[in-house]
Chains A and B, each alone.
Chain A
Amino acid sequence: MSDHAEHSGPGHIVSPMILVGTLVALLVLTFITVAVTWVNLGEFNLWIAMIIATIKAALVVLFFMHLYWDKPIIGIVFVTSLLLVALFIGLSMTDVDQVAPQRIPDYAPAVQQTTGS
């Protein structure tokens, strides 16, 4: 979806309303992510913070970075990098309690608890 009607160069020109809207949404979400820390929701705090951050990241990528109007190959490159990150961190997290829990005294108290030392 590239419209060349309003200009002669390549690439989509984003309307200022969309950019301002994105900015406002990002500022509001930043406030929300800070406000959430005023409430103790246990481990959900982390998940809420990550969900909000991901929404913000999506807004930046789609509108500030024009991904919404770009060719599919750009989206494929970007999403592939995210999948690799997920693979990398996800697999690392599966054996996280094997990270030398017993080798250094007092190194990983939280882990010692789960392994029932």
Chain B
Amino acid sequence: MSDHSDHPSYLGHHYDTVEQQFDSGKLGMWLFLATEILLFAGLFCAYAIYRKNHPEVFIYAHQFLDKQLGGINTLVLITSSFTMAMAVRMAQLGKKQATAGLLALTLLGGVGFLGIKAVEYEHKWKHGLLWGTKYRDQDAEHAAPGEHGGEHGTDGEAAPGEHSLRLGLPGVEVAHAAEDAGHGAAGSEAAADGEAGAGGADHAASGDAAAAGAETHAADGTMTEAAATGAEGIGDESLEPAPIIGGEAMPRSGLAHGASQPQGMAAPAEAGEGHGTDHKPSNVHIFFGIYFLMTGLHGLHVIAGMGAISWVLVRTLRGDFSAEYSTPVDLVGLYWHLVDLVWIYLFPLLYLIH
């Protein structure tokens, strides 16, 4: 037991040595980080289960995420992790100015990350790429005017051309053309036009467009349900070779589904929001639910980390730290690196689905 009077001001009275205090703080921080990892594991588990059961939803929906912005954000976060590690080093060496500068840079990285994230969120908000009932059926805006005649008019501000341009969606433009063709004609001619238009189009998009044509056709209501089912089936078959959508699992399962379970085709009529048509998967909103939960929880951690960094930045400027004592900078650094760590997994899992 050491006498309290020989304790430096930064050493808690319940510790014998600075070393002991440092080890305790570090262990405590790592225990907290372990609980953080388990917290995120819950969401990763939900992701894993849903992706295993619904690969088609992930392959379809991830196209609406901006790979470029996601990649830039990865670089921003990794770089800010580096400046944080450098800040810890400078704090350990007792270099106050350098520590403060590097902490400020790290903070800037956090601001940049959130700014880019905000751009992405805003884009998704505008296009109804959201969770649950807030999700707006994407193809319905372009490809199925018969089915969605009522609500279609309200989407006026989202011009299809601009939409497909911004999202880089394969096939939307062609689907739009097929829609126009189907619009003028009626009955089986519409479907034929739709398919012909699609056939002449870009190979990557043809499947989608054909499916869209079939759907327009079916939605006209001039045919019996059985015939409509047949039209959907054609859509399925032509969807299979589409290489960009490229899902091995998705087209095949869609086809098997259409062939073995024709009663499932009643789904478009039942589902008021237009889910259940086969060329795009059902329940896409759940992908966006998972996306917003995972990136949202991560974003909250970024905000918390920035708060913590601001705190040690103020304390650094106030002169609380020295070469002898800079543990808080170290521990905040650990937290910031964990935020980076989570994003390292989120980026490929959400943006780079193949």
Interface residue from B48, B249, B256, B337 paired with A65 (Cβ < 8 Å): B337
Q: Give the CA-CA distance A89 to B349 in the complex, in Å.
A: 15
> Once the chains bind, are A77 and B30 in contact (CB under 8 Å)?
yes
Smallest CB separation, A103 vs chain B (Å): 13
Scoring A33, A97, A110, A117 by chain B CB atoms within 10 A of each residue's CB, the highest score goes to: A110
Interface residue from B18, B53, B275 paired with A110 (Cβ < 8 Å): B53
Instruction: Report chain B residues within 8 Å CB of A78.
Output: 30, 33-34
> Once the chains bind, are A26 and B78 in contact (CB under 8 Å)?
yes
Q: Give the CA-CA distance A96 to B353 in the complex, in Å.
A: 20
Judge whether B49 is part of the interface by a CB distance below 8 angstroms.
yes
Nearest B residue to A64 by beta-carbon distance?
B85
Instruction: Report chain A residues within 8 Å CB of B89.
Output: 13-14, 16, 19
> Once the chains bind, are B52 and A113 in contact (CB under 8 Å)?
no
> Once the chains bind, are A112 and B257 in contact (CB under 8 Å)?
yes
Interface residue from B31, B54, B84 paired with A108 (Cβ < 8 Å): B54
Nearest A residue to B18 by beta-carbon distance?
A10
> Once the chains bind, are B334 and A57 in contact (CB under 8 Å)?
no
Interface hit among B119-127, B134-142, B188-196, B320-328: B320-328
Nearest A residue to B321 by beta-carbon distance?
A9
Given A13-B89, A73-B27, CB of A110 within 8 Å of CB of B249? yes
Q: Give the CA-CA distance A43 to B18 in the complex, in Å.
A: 51
> Once the chains bind, are A113 and B257 in contact (CB under 8 Å)?
yes
Judge whether B187 is part of the interface by a CB distance below 8 angstroms.
no
Judge whether B301 is part of the interface by a CB distance below 8 angstroms.
no
The residues in A between 82 and 114 inclusive whose CB is less than 8 angstroms from any CB of B are 82, 84-85, 88-89, 92-93, 96-97, 99, 101, 105-113
Interface size grouping (class) on chain A: 35 or more
> Once the chains bind, are A109 and B56 in contact (CB under 8 Å)?
yes
Instruction: Report chain A residues within 8 Å CB of B35.
Output: 81
> Once the chains bind, are B48 and A89 in contact (CB under 8 Å)?
yes
> Once the chains bind, are B326 and A9 in contact (CB under 8 Å)?
yes
Judge whether B237 is part of the interface by a CB distance below 8 angstroms.
no
Q: Give the CA-CA distance A64 to B85 in the complex, in Å.
A: 6
Q: Give the CA-CA distance A30 to B27 in the complex, in Å.
A: 30
Instruction: Report chain B residues within 8 Å CB of A77.
Output: 27, 30-31, 34
Q: Give the CA-CA distance A46 to B4 in the complex, in Å.
A: 57
> Once the chains bind, are B41 and A27 in contact (CB under 8 Å)?
no
Q: Give the CA-CA distance A96 to B52 in the complex, in Å.
A: 7
> Once the chains bind, are A108 and B53 in contact (CB under 8 Å)?
yes
Instruction: Report chain A residues within 8 Å CB of B322.
Output: 9
The residues in B between 313 and 354 inclusive whose CB is less than 8 angstroms from any CB of A are 322-327, 330, 333-334, 337, 340-341, 344-345, 347-349, 352-354
**B contact residues vs A (CB 8 Å cutoff):** 18-19, 21-23, 26-27, 30-31, 33-35, 37-38, 41-42, 44-45, 48-49, 52-56, 67, 71, 74-75, 78-79, 81-82, 84-86, 89, 92-94, 246, 248-249, 252-254, 256-257, 260-261, 264, 267, 270, 275-276, 281-283, 322-327, 330, 333-334, 337, 340-341, 344-345, 347-349, 352-354
A sample of 5 more A-B contacts (CB under 8 A), given A33-B352, A112-B261, is: A19-B85, A30-B71, A53-B347, A65-B334, A74-B27
**A contact residues vs B (CB 8 Å cutoff):** 7-11, 13-14, 16, 19-20, 22-23, 26-27, 30, 33-34, 36-37, 40-43, 45-46, 49-50, 52-53, 56-57, 60-61, 63-66, 70-71, 73-74, 77-78, 80-82, 84-85, 88-89, 92-93, 96-97, 99, 101, 105-113, 117
The 16 sampled A-B contact pairs (Cβ below 8 Å) are: A8-B324, A10-B23, A23-B78, A30-B75, A33-B347, A37-B352, A37-B354, A53-B345, A65-B333, A77-B30, A85-B41, A92-B45, A93-B49, A105-B276, A110-B54, A113-B257
Q: Which 10 A-B pairs have the closest CB atoms?
A: A81-B34, A45-B354, A10-B22, A49-B348, A23-B82, A85-B41, A64-B85, A81-B37, A108-B53, A109-B257
